[in-house]
Structure 1
Amino acid sequence: MRVLGIDPGLTRCGVGIVDVAPTRAAVLVHVSVITTPPELALEERLLRIAAGMEALLDEHRPDSVAVERVFAQHNVRTVMGTAQVSGIALLAAARRSLPVGLHTPTEVKAAITGYGQADKKQVGTMVAKVLRLDEVPRPADAADALALAICHAWRVPLGSGAAPANGDAAGGLTPAQRAWRAAEQGAARRTAAPRLVR
Structure 2
Amino acid sequence: MSIAAVRIIGIDPGSRHTGYGVIESERGRARMIAAGRISTASGTVPQRLLQIQRELAALLHEFTPAEAAIEEVFVNRNVQTALVLGQARGVALCALAQSGLDVAEYAPTQVKLALTGSGRAEKLQVQHMVKVLLNLQGAMAVDASDALAIALTHAQVRGMKARTDALAGGKRWGRA
> After TM superposition, is the score higher than 0.5?
yes
Identical pairs, percent: 38
Moved over 4 A (4+): 169-172
The aligned counterpart of 2:76 is: 73
CA deviations 1:148-182 (Å, max 9, x no partner) are 0110111014xxxxxxxxx544569xxxxxxxxxx
Q: Any conservation in 2 of the 1:136–1:143 contact (CA below 8 Å)?
A: no
The aligned counterpart of 1:9 is: 14
Aligned counterparts of 1:120 and 1:127: Cα–Cα separation in 2: 11
Aligned pair in 2 of structure 1 residues 37, 136: CA closer, same or farther (>3 Å)? closer
Aligned counterparts of 2:36 and 2:105: Cα–Cα separation in 1: 20
The aligned counterpart of 2:29 is: 25
Aligned counterparts of 2:68 and 2:57: Cα–Cα separation in 1: 12
1:135 to partner: Cα distance:
2.8
The aligned counterpart of 2:106 is: 103
The aligned counterpart of 1:161 is: none
Higher normalized contact order (CA 8 Å, seq sep 6+, divided by chain length): 2
Partner-residue secondary structure (3-state), 1:156: helix
1:71 to partner: Cα distance:
2.6
- For structure 1, which runs of at least 5 residues remain unmatched after alignment? 158-166, 173-198
Q: Any conservation in 2 of the 1:9–1:85 contact (CA below 8 Å)?
A: yes
Aligned counterparts of 1:35 and 1:11: Cα–Cα separation in 2: 6
Aligned pair count reads 160
1:1-198 mapped onto 2 (5 Å cutoff): 1-21=6-26, 23-38=27-42, 40-137=43-140, 139-157=141-159, 168-170=161-163
- For structure 2, which runs of at least 5 residues remain unmatched after alignment? 1-5, 166-176
Q: What amino acid maps onto 2:143 in structure 1?
A: D
Aligned counterparts of 1:115 and 1:168: Cα–Cα separation in 2: 21
Using the size of structure 2 for normalisation, the TM-score is 0.86
Using the size of structure 1 for normalisation, the TM-score is 0.76
